[in-house]
Amino acid sequence: MSNLEKTAECGLGLLGLSTLFPKYATRVREPKPNQEPWRIRQLFPGYAFVSFDVDADPWHRITDIPGIHRLFRRAVQTPSPLPTGFVENLMARADKKDVIYPEEASGIARDTVCRVVTPPYEGIVGVCLWSEGDRLKLLSSMLGGKATLDLRVHDVEIVSC
Q: Are residues 26 and 59 located together in one domain of the fold? A: yes
Phi, psi at 143, each rounded to 5°: 50, 40
Amino acid letter, 159:
V
Instruction: Report the phi/psi class of residue 151: left, alpha or beta, with left for phi > 0 and alpha for psi in -120 to 50.
Output: beta
Q: Are residues 7 and 36 located together in one domain of the fold? A: yes
Give pairs for 32-40: CB < 8 Å, separation 24+.
38/101, 40/99
**H or E element in which residue 4 lies:** helix 3-14
pLDDT in tens, the chain (161 residues): 778 888 999 999 999 999 999 999 887 777 788 888 888 999 988 889 999 888 888 888 898 999 898 888 777 778 888 888 899 999 998 899 999 987 654 568 888 999 999 989 999 999 999 887 778 899 998 878 899 999 988 899 999 75
Alpha-helical runs (H) found in 57-106: 86-93
CATH of the domain at 136: 2.30.30.30
Of 22, 12, 65, the C-alpha closest to 44 is 22
18-20 and 49-51 beta bridge pairing:
antiparallel
Q: Which domain holds residue 112?
A: 106-158
Total tally of structural domains belonging to the chain: 2
Q: What is the pTM of this model?
A: 0.59
